[in-house]
């Protein structure tokens, strides 16, 4: 039974474990004030090409989202999110638990655009309603689509004009940036959004997300918020060492590229077979629409999620690949699929 259920089924890239081993007995300061975290932060600034950034390492996506968003907003301010937004659906109301409403926008492809934002602003007119203030986007989105440069520029401009913060959930950012279709650079992000994070958990780390705060006004006192939300690890080195390893050469991007390639192999084969997809996805999550009969057959040897029923005979499934996905498993899956078609 091989799993295409997600990109966190395995542990970490072996280089990360080795780095932990090699540094294990050094005595360092706690709570992210260790030399490794500091080096990782400097390295990330270099990779992004900006010195005026505040970068903090946190443990996971939900933790990063709730810590950042609650730190950035005043009590009456709300978040705008696509209806597919992870914070809206799959984080157990963690944003609301910090006191903030999320305004849901129905979208087909997981992506927000300027007219969505305009509609949200137009329908929130006075103090009897929340005040929309932060736009939450994910890149790639929760359904695998990615933002292109012009799209992000347009969003960014609208946000600046309307005093909205633009926040990018980058739990799978590596996959977006390494997508064949991508035309965004890390440095673009720092210019276009107010804060974003570089996901480690879903790209080869044991855990860890690097939150990059770009806007001056959002930086102050951020470590207080981290501590208050339980997000400051005593052994902060655990995060620092991992990000140092991920970015000291091209490891982070190599892993994401591999994940994308593996998804691409399956995507191409499914396209050739004349089957369709729920959404255009050039990243490491794909959502092909398969005959239920075929799904049943594949589930004998592979695990993956059946995403949604499309019609009486067909359903969309979610297939996720990762840095650890084995090419032979992908090829076997393709073979089994062709045989069962």
Site for a copy of itself in 71-110 (CB under 8 A): 71, 74-76, 78, 89-94, 96-102, 104
Interface with a copy of itself, residue 318, by CB under 8 A: no
> Of the two residues 8 and 277, which places its CB atom closer to a copy of itself in the complex?
8
Which residues, 6+ apart, have CB-to-CB distance to 49 below 8 Å?
Answer: 186, 187, 190
Q: For residues 208 and 201, is the Cβ–Cβ distance under 8 A?
A: yes
The one among 55, 57, 66, 107 contacting a copy of itself by CB under 8 A: 66
Of the listed pieces 58-66, 108-116, 134-142, 267-275, which binds a copy of itself according to CB under 8 A? 58-66
The one among 15, 17, 45, 297 contacting a copy of itself by CB under 8 A: 17
The one among 70, 138, 179, 203 contacting a copy of itself by CB under 8 A: 70
Minimum separation from the CB atom of position 267 to a copy of itself (A): 21
| DSSP H helices in 112-206 | 114-122, 149-161, 173-177, 186-192
Q: What are phi and psi of 143, to 5 degrees?
A: -115, 25
Interface with a copy of itself, residue 285, by CB under 8 A: no
What Cα–Cα distance (Å) separates residue 216 from each residue in 10, 80, 195, 222? 37, 21, 10, 12
Say whether the peptide bond before residue 140 is cis (omega within 30 degrees of 0): yes
Taking CB under 8 A as the criterion, which residues in 129-158 touch a copy of itself? 129-131
The one among 122, 127, 150, 311 contacting a copy of itself by CB under 8 A: 127
User: Residue 32: which region, alpha, beta or left (left: phi > 0; alpha: psi -120 to 50)?
Assistant: left
What letter does residue 203 receive in the DSSP assignment? Answer: G
Interface with a copy of itself, residue 12, by CB under 8 A: yes
- The 235-274 site mask, x for binding a copy of itself (CB under 8 A), equals x-xx------------------------------------
What Cα–Cα distance (Å) separates residue 228 from each residue in 117, 148, 182, 223? 31, 35, 36, 8
């Amino acid at each position: 039974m091989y799993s295409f259920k997600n990109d966190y089924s395995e542990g970490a890239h072996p280089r990360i474990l080795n780095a932990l081993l090699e540094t294990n007995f050094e005595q360092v300061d706690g709570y992210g004030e260790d030399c490794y975290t500091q080096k990782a932060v400097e390295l990330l600034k270099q990779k992004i090409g900006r010195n005026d950034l505040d970068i903090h390492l946190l443990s996971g996506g939900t933790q990063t989202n709730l810590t950042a968003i609650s730190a950035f907003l005043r009590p009456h301010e709300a978040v705008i999110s696509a209806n597919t937004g992870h914070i809206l659906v799959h984080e157990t109301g963690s944003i609301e638990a910090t006191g903030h409403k999320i305004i849901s926008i129905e979208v087909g492809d997981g992506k927000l655009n300027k007219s969505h934002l305009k509609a949200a602003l137009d329908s929130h007119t006075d103090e009897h309603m929340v005040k929309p203030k932060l736009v939450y986007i994910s890149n790639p989105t929760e359904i695998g689509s990615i933002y292109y440069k012009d799209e992000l520029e347009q969003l960014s401009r609208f946000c600046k004009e309307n005093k909205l913060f633009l926040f990018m959930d980058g739990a799978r950012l590596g996959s977006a940036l390494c997508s064949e279709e991508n035309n965004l650079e890390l440095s673009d992000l720092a210019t276009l959004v107010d804060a974003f994070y570089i996901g480690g958990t879903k790209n080869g780390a044991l855990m860890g997300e690097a939150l990059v705060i770009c806007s001056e006004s959002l930086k102050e006192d951020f470590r207080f918020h981290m501590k208050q939300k339980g997000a400051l690890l005593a052994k902060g080195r655990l995060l620092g060492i991992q990000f140092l390893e991920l970015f000291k050469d091209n490891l982070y991007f190599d892993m994401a590229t591999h994940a994308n390639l593996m998804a691409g192999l399956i995507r191409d084969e499914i396209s050739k077979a004349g089957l369709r997809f729920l959404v255009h996805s050039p990243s490491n999550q794909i959502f092909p629409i398969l005959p239920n009969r075929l799904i049943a057959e594949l589930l004998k040897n592979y695990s993956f999620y059946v995403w949604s029923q499309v019609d009486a005979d067909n359903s969309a499934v979610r297939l996720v690949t990762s840095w650890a996905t084995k090419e032979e498993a992908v090829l076997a899956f393709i073979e089994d699929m062709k045989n069962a078609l």
